Copies of this chain bind each other. A is one copy, B any other.
Amino acid sequence: MASHWEEFYSTNPQPVNFENNCTLLKNFCESHKKNNQRIVLVTSGGTTVPLEHNTVRFVDNFSGGLRGAASAEYFLDQGYSVIFLHRFNSIIPFTRHFNHLKMLDMLVLQKNEKNVSISIKPDSVDMLAPILVKYQRAQEDNKMLYINFTTLSDYFWLLRACCEYLKDIGANALLYLAAAVSDFFVPSSQMATHKLPSDGVPEIHLQLVPKLLVPIVSLWVPHAFVVSFKLETDESVLISKATGAIKKYKHKLVIGNMLHTRRTRVVFVTEGSNYEIKLTEEQISNGVEIENIIVKNVVSVHTKFIEGTF
């Protein structure tokens, strides 16, 4: 049985640095509220579920975080301010376009008698310059706030804190819940203190994770536009599960996707209707990212929602 969400908070302590993150969230939301600015909360990457108090082993959810990171950039393009609540060390906006070693390979060292300088090789400038311009503009305008989590418990605490400060934003707030959240966890009371011995097979007692969509929609941000994601590997259950989620949680939109086609196809499921977004061969060969199309569609329904016509 799922534990109740209130019980989860009462038995799992706040993450380190929580107060500091709350201050950042508060300041970010307040400064954008003044300008009647839309704010999107993008959650991204997987949560971990520790199996031991002194954590050596944990259950993780597959998610590199590409969908969230790409979407965050496209929301910026659409004029949104973005809270990017992401798994520590997952893919992040802007830097997702080049990996670490590629970055070093782009650098060239110049030495003269007086001076050492380092610059980007001319043939990489064309790729890097537009990304850098967007990154620097977002930094200067304070349009993107980066907050990270690792465990399921971190995520729970930080997501609730985001909602607390987004509540005042009303319908201008959009929740875009793309993180891959664990469905199961090991309750603190049943967790081994030390590393599980490696010479015997451990018993792992899993419990269902409470669904935060319940308090999010009904209590925490009742006026916000809430979008959740559903990842499946079995096509035959995708639409029915997404429709079931809409009915159960009463939020506005579920974006369904299949593990192996998620980069080229998603299904938008709302109460009473669903439609597919699929990249064409031409779009794929032109390097169009599906997140660009997803975000444009989400923004369009969010606008209708704000205008009261959704």
Closest to A106 in B: B118
Q: Tell me which of B56, B100, B119, B122 contacts A61 (CB under 8 A).
A: B56
Nearest chain B CB to A142 CB, angstrom units: 15
Q: Is there contact, CB below 8 Å, between A104 and B109?
A: no
Q: Tell me which of B100, B118, B184 contacts A95 (CB under 8 A).
A: B100
- Known contacts A57-B60, A233-B54, A259-B54; is A125 also within 8 Å of B132 by CB? no
Closest to A63 in B: B56
Max count, chain B CB within 10 A of own CB: residue among A100, A125, A136, A234: A100
Q: Is there contact, CB below 8 Å, between B120 and A117?
A: yes
Bound CA span A125–B58, Å: 39
- Any chain B CB within 8 A of the CB of A135? yes
Q: Is there contact, CB below 8 Å, between A109 and B129?
A: yes
- Any chain B CB within 8 A of the CB of A180? yes
Bound CA span A56–B201, Å: 23
- Any chain B CB within 8 A of the CB of A107? yes
Q: Is there contact, CB below 8 Å, between A206 and B195?
A: no
Q: Is there contact, CB below 8 Å, between B107 and A101?
A: no
- Known contacts A54-B233, A54-B259; is A133 also within 8 Å of B109 by CB? yes
Max count, chain B CB within 10 A of own CB: residue among A60, A139, A200, A207: A60
- Any chain B CB within 8 A of the CB of A9? no
Q: For residue A107, which residues in chain B have a CB less than 8 angstroms away from its CB?
A: 120, 128, 132
Q: Is there contact, CB below 8 Å, between B101 and A146?
A: yes
Using a CB–CB cutoff of 8 Å, the interface residues on chain A facing chain B are 48, 51-52, 54-62, 64, 89, 92, 94-95, 100-101, 103-105, 107, 109, 116-120, 122, 125, 128-129, 132-133, 135-136, 139, 146, 180, 182-184, 193-196, 198-202, 204, 206-208, 231-234, 259-260
Which 9 residue pairs of A and B lie closest in terms of their CB atoms, listed nearest first? Answer: A95-B100, A183-B198, A54-B233, A119-B119, A118-B120, A60-B60, A194-B233, A194-B234, A195-B233
Interchain residue pairs with CB less than 8 A apart (20): A52-B233, A54-B260, A56-B180, A56-B231, A57-B60, A58-B59, A59-B60, A60-B60, A92-B101, A95-B104, A104-B132, A107-B120, A117-B122, A117-B125, A118-B132, A119-B120, A183-B196, A193-B233, A194-B232, A198-B208
Q: A104-B135, A195-B233 are in contact. List 9 more A-B contacts (CB 8 A).
A: A56-B62, A118-B119, A118-B125, A118-B128, A118-B129, A119-B119, A195-B232, A200-B208, A201-B208
